[in-house]
């Protein structure tokens, strides 16, 4: 079995497994997960070379952090063998990026995770707050938490790509270590690509989430609430049906597509079962050995061409 590839995260010195474990499903976000299944999936992830786990107090209204904490404790690996990232600023009760709230937030998260520190603390979905507050108040508060040893690195997350340049252009160089982007590096939308040279030149690490575009690139299709336009949905549905007809799985191809860009340190995938962990790692292993299925990918790209790089609105209008 080839070991899962580790990739450098910007200038942090951290090496992340190219497949990251998205722990939002552990918060029962997509249906109930028993504690046994949760622990078994985290154990399987470690066994197969995944070392990066991402959560947030928002997922499952703090349940994801609690369950991940229990899992990490049950598996009992040395703390320096895995990388944990959580978030602040977005909660079940709403958004609050104030210095006071995020400072309190990390203590709550560490208690739930049963950890002394997290490797990365990210401001969660900053397009829903004031970007100027994030620049002038939130990031300085996180820098203090870094000095206090509660966090090692600082990140920002969100959907609209312009939020990243807005913040990075205004904070002291080196104060933001990593960005987490979602739904902008998959077969239907590769708009993150245009930002990669800028991020690289700033030494900022890149994590990409939702390689399946929040369910668009699956045989089952997206959930009811999915914010994409009817055009995007029907194109993705057509692509999924085409793959199925050819005996291919669109989800596996989509994950491999996202993994094939080495400038992205880790692709986060939500997981809550041993089967999902094994499938995701197998897709990465297959990619490492055989490369991606160029023929099918270009056929899917042709089907998705009319909606290429189309996204949906997220957040509040920034003044």
SS3 32: coil
Ranges assigned E (strand) in 27-89: 52-54, 83-88
Q: Is residue 117 among the annotated active site residues?
A: no
Helices (H) and strands (E) in the chain, counts: 11, 12
The pairing of strands 19-22 and 266-270 is parallel
Query: Which of 92, 101, 8 has its CA nearest to residue 52?
Result: 8
Catalytic one among 58, 59, 166, 257? 59
Dmax over CA atoms of the chain, in Å, equals 55
Measured distance CA(264)–CA(7) in Å, rounded: 8
Number of Cβ atoms within 10 Å of the Cβ of 162: 12
Query: What burial class does residue 11 get, using C-beta atoms within 10 Å of its C-beta: 0-12 exposed, 13-18 middle, 19+ buried?
Result: middle
Annotated catalytic residues are: 59
């Amino acid at each position: 079995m080839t070991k899962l590839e580790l990739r450098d995260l910007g200038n942090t010195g951290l090496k992340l497994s190219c497949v990251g474990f998205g722990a939002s499903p552990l918060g029962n976000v997509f249906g109930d997960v028993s504690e046994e299944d949760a622990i078994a999936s985290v154990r399987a992830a470690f066994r197969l070379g995944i070392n990066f786990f991402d959560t947030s107090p928002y997922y499952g209204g703090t349940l994801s952090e609690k369950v991940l904490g229990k899992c990490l404790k049950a598996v009992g690996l040395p703390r320096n063998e895995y990388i944990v990232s959580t978030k602040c600023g977005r909660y079940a009760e709403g958004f609050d990026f104030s210095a006071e709230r995020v400072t309190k937030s990390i203590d709550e998260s560490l208690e739930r995770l049963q950890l002394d520190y997290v490797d990365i603390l990210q401001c969660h979905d900053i397009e829903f707050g004031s970007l100027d507050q994030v620049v002038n108040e939130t990031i300085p508060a996180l820098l203090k938490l870094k000095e206090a040893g509660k966090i090692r690195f600082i990140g920002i997350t969100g959907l609209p790509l312009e939020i990243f340049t807005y913040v990075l252009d205004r904070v002291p160089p080196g104060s933001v270590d990593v960005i987490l982007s979602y739904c902008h590096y998959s077969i239907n939308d590769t708009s993150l690509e245009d930002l990669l040279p800028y991020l690289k030149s700033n030494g900022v690490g890149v994590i990409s989430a939702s390689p399946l575009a929040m369910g668009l690139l699956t045989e089952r299709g997206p959930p009811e609430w999915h914010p994409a336009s009817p055009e995007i949905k029907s194109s993705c549905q057509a692509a999924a049906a085409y793959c199925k007809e050819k005996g291919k799985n669109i989800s596996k191809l989509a994950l491999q597509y996202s993994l094939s860009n080495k400038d992205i340190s880790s692709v986060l995938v939500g997981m809550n079962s041993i089967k999902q962990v094994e499938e995701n790692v197998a897709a990465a292993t297959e990619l490492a050995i055989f490369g991606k299925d160029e023929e099918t990918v270009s056929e899917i790209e042709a089907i998705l061409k009319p909606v290429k790089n189309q996204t949906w609105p997220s957040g509040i209008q920034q003044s």
